Amino acid sequence: MSKRLFGTTKDGKEVYAFTLTNANKMQAEVINYGCILTKLLVPDADGKIDDVVLGFDTLAPYEVNPSFFGAVIAPSANRIKDAKFTIDGVEYKVDVNDGPNNLHSHVDKGAHKQVWDYEEGNNSVKFTYEYKDKELGFPGNIKFTMTYTLTDKNELILHYNAVSDKKALINPTNHSYFNLAGAKSGKNILNHVLKLDASNYTPVVAGAIPTGEIATVKGTVMDFTNGRRVGDDIDDNFEQLVLTGGYDHNFVVDGYDKSLRHIATVTTPEAKRQMDVYSNLPGVQFYAGNFIADQDGKEGAKYTKRSALCLETQFYPDTIHNANFPSCVFGPGNDYDSETIYKF
């Protein structure tokens, strides 16, 4: 691992970049601002190396970053209906930032825009950040730990831990955007082939808030169980796709039992690359980049709608309001701990 100064925040804090390199010339660069994965250099079957995640060359754009490129989202990823929730009879109100709802905790003060403490390892880097009770409206003094590890099996391992002194809503994720043809290829992800180990998903209403139903994908355009092109039906008139401008839904992981299991595979004919995703979480948000704004990215790349896709492992959106969803309430004696692996 190597370390370098990446930049200085607008309020004067130094931010460092850590580059992890394995025996196969795969590299992952992460920064302690937002625990952001800024680069992921991956060889294809012929040894050609490309950066497969979207991002920026400098720090300043990450301080805006409306698409959350590469960032860790915490305390809570995804949406909370009406930006409020109740735990043990106490109501908590959080940032109203997505219509009447809450999205990704807080636009300006969420974990994705904080400078985290760091600890360097040989093939890993561990980041820590602490939120005070009700700092963003969320309960609990919560210490988050997030560790990136790169192995010689071409695995990028993301390990999350959170400890709270009271019952708290804890549901972090990583918001990396992947394009296996290369982040600066100029190609969209409509030809990417996606297989999801998910026979069900959680339908939504306007605002992308789940209805509470767990619905089968069988016989619908939501079915990726056998693997197919992302673009095959993305603009179909199916109500769920119309509501979210394309795929932006939580898929229910088959056989969830809190153990680490394979949940997804992505391949692309434009490059001889395959990404397999493993997680011990119950859901994965498949987002097809429907609302990526036209913008300049790394190394002169131009990003636009559907330039990349996200597979965000997490508890279901708005799970706090749905007793039939797996609970994301953690606290004393019940720490949050999860692992996600992106393997190439």
- List the catalytic residues: 175, 312
Angle at 80 between CA 177 and CA 257, to 5 degrees: 70
Residue 269's contacts (CB-CB under 8 Å, 6 or more residues apart) are 191, 193
Within 10 angstroms of residue 259's Cβ, the number of other Cβ atoms is 8
| Residue 240 DSSP symbol | H
Nearest-angstrom CA–CA distance, 29 and 40: 6
Cα separation, 44 vs 53, whole angstroms: 15
CA distance 61 to 327: 35
Query: 333 vs 63, 156, 167, 329, 339, CA distance in Å?
Result: 35, 29, 10, 12, 19
Residues 6+ apart with CB under 8 A from 136: 75, 94, 95, 105, 106, 109, 110
Residue 138, classified by CB atoms within 10 Å of its CB into exposed (0-12), middle (13-18) or buried (19+), is buried
Write down the residue that tokens 């720490």 correspond to.
335
Kindly list the distances between the CA atom of residue 313 and the CA atoms of 14, 200, 251, 319, in Å, as whole numbers in the listed order.
Answer: 29, 15, 10, 14
Cis peptide before 75 (omega within 30 of 0): yes
